[in-house]
Amino acid sequence: MPTNLQLDDRLIDEAVRLGGHKTKRAAVTQALVDYTQRLRQVKVLSEFGRIDFEPDYDYKAQRSKT
């Protein structure tokens, strides 16, 4: 899917250089991967304290059922 974006050339060049990427596309793709991973991490952290914890849960017993 072709996309035409107005991006800061200095910022892209710096990302290419710092990331050791061969192309601008590779740098932008990596930036999007990093961004989405970070958002997923924030989402997981927002669930902290909302999920019930069972201190008596035996995960080893659960593994041996397979």
Taking each helix axis as running N to C, give the angle between helix 9-19 and helix 24-46, from 0 to 180 degrees, rounded to the nearest 10.
80
Residues 7-53: pLDDT tens digits? 999 999 999 999 999 999 999 999 999 999 999 999 988 888 777 77
Contact at 8 Å (CB) between 12 and 28? Answer: yes
Q: Where are the domains of the chain?
A: 23-47
pLDDT of amino acid 18? 97
Residue 1 has pLDDT above 60, yes or no: yes
Residue 6 has pLDDT above 80, yes or no: yes
Q: Decide which of 61 and 39 is more confident.
A: 39
pTM recorded for the entire structure: 0.67
Distances (CA, A) of 32 to 13, 26, 37, 44, 64: 16, 10, 8, 18, 39
